[in-house]
Chains A and B, each alone.
Chain A
Amino acid sequence: MLVSIKWLKEYVNTQELDPAELGEKITRSGIEVDAVIDRSHGMTNVVVGYVESCEKHKEADKLSICQVNVGEDGIEQIICGAPNIAAGQKVIVARPGAKLPGGVKIKKAKLRGEVSNGMICSLQELGIEGKLVPKAYAEGIYVLPENAEIGSDVVTNFDLDDTVLELGLTPNRADAMSMLGVAYEVGAILSEEVKLPEATYTEAADTAASMLTLNIDAPEANPLYVAKVIRNIEVKESPMWLQQRLMAAGVRPHNNVVDVTNFVLMEYGQPLHAFDYDSLKTGNITVRHAKQDELITTLDDAERKLSPHHLVITNGEEPVALAGVMGGANSEVSDSTTTIVIESAYFASGSIRQTSKDHGLRSDASSRYEKGVDPNRVIPAAERAASLIAELAGGEVLAGSIIFDELEREEKIVKVSPDFINTRLGMKIPFEDMLEILERLKFKTEAANNQLIISVPTRRQDIQIEEDVVEEIARLYGYDEIPATLPQTEARPGGLTPYQAKRRMVRHFLEGAGLLQATTYSLTSEKSAKQFALTETDTTRLLMPMSEERSILRQSLLPHLLDSVTHNTARRIDSVALYETGAVFLKTEDELLNEEEHLAIAMTGLWLDNSWQGEKKPVDFFVLKGIVEGLGEKLGVELSFERGQMDDLHPGRTAFIIHDGQRIGVIGQLHPTEQKERDLKTTVVLELNLAELLNLAADPLLYTPVPRYPSITRDVALVLSKIVEAGTIEKVIRGAGGKLLKDVRVFDLYEGDKMEAGKKSVAFTLTYFDPEKTLTDEEVVAVHDKVLKALTEVGAELRS
């Protein structure tokens, strides 16, 4: 909502406050002033000129040489490039030395050999947005009314010495979508009275009813309709003051009739519409629901197909307006119109919202109807419009109005006790101060039995319950006056749930391991929604995605995390180690999805990079496996790995992570094809159902006595077939080693040319230990021999 302060002053005394100060007061009381706009933009030296003569420039046919009377200084020659310049016009002249918006300075100039002492201006050059300039002047200079005084200052004479407050209205403050509403608000803030506009005209002897009949076939959607008929009008350009008011409010001037309806809309917040009486043809207005597939061409020249939940104004036969949203082209007021019907109506907000939404049409009218207009302004607005049109278009207002009225418009009564107000606020506002604030708001209030009985004016439909009154009192008393206290609640320890605490632990562990935490989007494309997913379910698609790229809910974190890796490597950051935790979304039988918290890791480039000491180690499967193993230990969860396959992972370098027989994750190297696709070098990845891990309760932590006896180690080097996995051999060793075998560890792997084809050498360190005593050589030999025998039995060759 754009509020011209000059216009506002017609209804309320703003106490000569500086616009910025007034804006600050309005903001602090509840309506945010987003911007304070100076309409003059600091303009100087811009005056009314009279074009005495106008000739084509000989050197340039688009330029005109004008002799312009600028008042005291007499006639000045000014070159003008506008197509609509002509002798006999009153025009806006920026004199040499003038400052225009945007820092433009006017100097004497020569244009193709001809002197130009200033510039004849368009409204755009005075800082008015092109879309607000009347169509007749949109492509050229603006022509002032004939009675403009030559040499007088344009800024002060045509209301450009004004400031506009741009209000950012919250949906509850529909009342402030009108100048009167803002006047009431300012009046409440400044303790000033509001002066209502006047509507006076002389009625013709004939009655409106003699020319127009009215049928309302949809009284629920249209409980109040007022029509006035005005005849013998002259449709023409509006006076300057009206054009300026509208442009200040962000509305483009058209002609005196349309401009008056828009002016009253802005003034009262009540949408009005003017029909050309003759185009109606039938002398009838019928309001009804549209028929299925009925058509209307609206004022924006769009043909619209209707359905029964749209409300239309008809001439008894065909639609002439989309009720409350936009008029029809077939009944538009034109220059030749002589008789008009003014409509002022109350349309139910739901119906208008539906119509506006279905047709993607939002107008100044529909946005007010959607939020609910003041039922008590419907009739006064019609009267005000009739009076202004009679004044500006010279018409004759027919006697009376044609009215259908079934609208309930009682004032809402809200009862609230001063104690309630003070308890809610934690304050002690005196009773008299509350009464004073309600008086400023113009809420009629009775005080009885320690109760405030408040009649809320119909313009304030946001005030419904006691709490609403609490807010009104508090905001006008001042939020700064509220003390700062802390809740007096039962003292209970707050804290993290074990799940939340462990999630943080995982975060710290991974960061300690050198990984950066990333965050990616949950919405993804069909293509990547299921890549690396741990569970097979259908995808979940948005009803109205904004793009194909963000249309499906992800089922794994890795695809986007890998996109982030590529983002970095594309910028020559070769070593990247990222992790992310977040929900993936899996379809279930339920209405809602199964949101599973996952952990994903993606690593590429060097793991160890100590360049000047010559130590460089690229990431590989085992770097990542080590991190997962460490994580398992940290969480006290036993994890194992099982060779597996997954699309887009290297078939020989992929493993599932197993807990308690369940696959809870996958770890692997990207398939070379996938790496190429993503423009990545060797990249290892993890996708893990983190929730599954975090939901497990860890065992109590009990200390194991520190060993009192030494342990004994034996190394065993084995020649194995290449396809035999170290893990299999480890199981054999553990099986044979029994209780005394405390640990088995791989310490060497050799697959080089010194080995026979298809063979490899794996060396293990075995640790023997007895917590009860020092092991003797014989005891160790006895058990170690058993191990060696078992190894030989499975085909392992002892290497000398």
Chain B
Amino acid sequence: MEAQLQALKTEALEKIASAANVKELNDVRVAYLGKKGPITDLLKGMGKLPAEERPKMGALVNVVREEVTTSLEERMVILEEEAINLKLQSETIDITLPGRPVRTGNPHPLTRVIEEIEDLFVSMGYEIAEGPEVEKDYYNFEALNLPKGHPARDMQDSFYITEDILLRTHTSPVQARTMEAKGGEPIKIICPGKVYRRDNDDATHSHQFTQIEGLVIGEDIRMSDLKGTLSVFAKKMFGDDREIRLRPSFFPFTEPSVEMDISCFKCGGSGCNVCKKTGWIEILGAGMVHPNVLEMAGYDSKRLTGFAFGMGPERIAMLKYGVEDIRHFYTNDVRFLSQFQRTEV
């Protein structure tokens, strides 16, 4: 009987080793360890043995049974792993295929520039003021020290609707309106918006464009405050190492008036095609609010002074992003618009 047991063990272990998959191994389990298997049969046949042999044989059967079980379990781990590996292999995908696209739009490049400027000035305590695009001649010109017949009106050929109503040529009328509404109180605003001039559309002109102007009025506002403010703006918009320089200029609504150049952000000042070899790029016009403008809006120009500045988001966007034709901003070609998606910081 012992020999029979050994043979059974050898046979079982061989079958375990040769089982090719989980199912075959389970068949082996049932065949040898099942209720109808030979080992169970052997245990059942123990009763026929003499009583003194029974414990020894019992122990022996148990050992064989243990050994077969252990071997079977070990094999099972291996076969299961193989089975999983096989499954994983069959499930492998081509990870180079494109991902499911996430549809995202983005702001217009001019909005991007305007909001960046808005955010900067808002962080410095400015409010955003807006006003009508169809404006009274009074707010567009007269309140800004440009009476009828003033030679500087030539500078801004405008779209009139009636003798007294026109499409605003700059966002300055918003300043005039704000001053009138504030009734002599300090002001700190920026005014973004669309403006219109009688220009033929070409690569550098557009009959419709945008502008952002700023206005600060308070006690003892000095020209140095204008310079400092513009310097902060230039560094934020064009990089920390930007220098600014002011050049005298003329606007009817400011005195003194200046134009601001920044050191070229492309070449750093050594001269390149962006700065036309000068090292400087003209960015905006500014000045100290003309006393006539203050007085007309009901401010005491002896007590309160102010500065104003104005710039063109188109020009800034063209410089920043290297756009060569202003008409791109109004054509809405998807291949143009969708380029202004990603962050720059």
Contacts and interface: CB of A to CB of B under 8 A. Distances in A.
B208 interface: yes
B247 A28 contact: yes
Contacts of A27: 247
A542 B332 contact: no
A495 B122 contact: yes
Interface in A457-500: 465, 467-468, 470-471, 474-475, 479-480, 482-497, 500
A482 B246 CA distance: 9
B171 to A, nearest CB: 13
Interface in A516-530: 516-523
A492 to B, nearest CB: 6
A379 interface: no
A484 B101 contact: no
A106 B108 CA distance: 54
Contacts of B334: 516, 568, 573, 576, 578
Interface string B154-166: 1100011110110
Contact of B128 (A500, A517, A523): A500
Contacts of A482: 223-224, 227, 246
A568 B290 CA distance: 47
B122 A564 contact: no
A475 B288 CA distance: 14
B160 A542 contact: yes
B220 interface: yes
B176 interface: no
Contacts of A173: 250
B223 A511 contact: no
Interface string A152-183: 00000000000000000011110000000000
B246 A493 contact: no
B101 A610 contact: yes
A93 B47 CA distance: 140
B97 A30 contact: no
A561 B196 CA distance: 19
Chain B CB within 10 A, most for which of A371, A468, A487, A591: A487
Interface stretch (A228-236, A398-406, A423-431): A423-431
A146 B186 CA distance: 73
Interface stretch (B34-42, B73-81, B83-91, B129-137): B129-137
Contacts, number: 242
A491 B259 CA distance: 28
Nearest to A487: B225
Nearest to A31: B248
Nearest to A579: B105
Contacts of A424: 222-223, 288, 305
A345 interface: no
Interface size, B (range): 35 or more
A583 interface: yes
B249 interface: yes
A145 interface: no
Contacts of B100: 610, 613
Contacts of A564: 331-332
Given A170-B250, A519-B108, A426 B225 contact: yes
A100 interface: no
Given A577-B105, A578-B332, A485 B161 contact: no
A513 B134 contact: no
Contacts of B207: 521, 523, 546, 550
A521 B330 contact: yes
A423 B256 CA distance: 13
A493 B224 contact: no
A573 B331 CA distance: 14
A484 B222 CA distance: 10
Interface in B112-165: 115, 118, 121-128, 130, 132-136, 149, 151-152, 154-155, 159-162, 164-165
A518 B13 CA distance: 77
B224 A485 contact: yes
Nearest to B301: A467
Contacts of A521: 207-208, 330
A470 B225 CA distance: 16
A543 interface: yes
B291 A486 contact: no
A484 B247 contact: no
Nearest to B232: A486
B30 to A, nearest CB: 45
B26 interface: no
A482 B249 CA distance: 16
A170 B249 contact: yes
Contacts of A370: 151
A473 to B, nearest CB: 9
A544 B166 CA distance: 11
Contacts of A612: 97-98
A730 B130 CA distance: 44
A724 interface: no
Contacts of B330: 519-521
Contacts of A32: 247, 249, 259
A571 interface: yes
B103 interface: yes
B333 interface: yes
Nearest to B200: A546
A482 B245 CA distance: 10
Contacts of B186: 489-490
B342 interface: no
A507 interface: yes
Contact of B127 (A495, A504, A593): A495
Contact of B333 (A485, A520, A571): A571
Nearest to A512: B104
A340 B15 CA distance: 135
Contacts of A474: 223, 248, 256
A138 to B, nearest CB: 30
A483 B247 contact: no
Contact of B133 (A353, A426, A546, A583): A583
Contacts of B103: 513-514
A516 B105 contact: yes
Contacts of A371: 151
Contact of B337 (A484, A493, A516, A542): A516
B111 A507 contact: yes
A371 B154 CA distance: 11
B128 A471 contact: no
A553 interface: yes
A504 B161 contact: no
Interface in A581-616: 582-583, 585, 591-593, 595, 609-610, 612-613
Contacts of B111: 507, 517, 519
Given A424-B222, A483-B227, A511-B106, 15 more contacts: A30-B248, A32-B247, A171-B250, A370-B151, A425-B223, A483-B228, A492-B125, A492-B188, A516-B334, A516-B338, A518-B108, A545-B159, A571-B335, A591-B136, A595-B133
Interface of B: 97-98, 100-101, 103-108, 110-111, 115, 118, 121-128, 130, 132-136, 149, 151-152, 154-155, 159-162, 164-165, 167, 186, 188, 194, 196, 198, 200, 207-208, 216, 218, 220-225, 227-229, 231-232, 245-250, 255-259, 288, 290-291, 305, 329-335, 337-338
6 tightest A-B CB contacts, nearest first: A426-B224, A514-B103, A426-B222, A30-B248, A471-B256, A170-B250
7 contacts: A27-B247, A350-B149, A488-B220, A542-B160, A567-B331, A567-B333, A579-B105
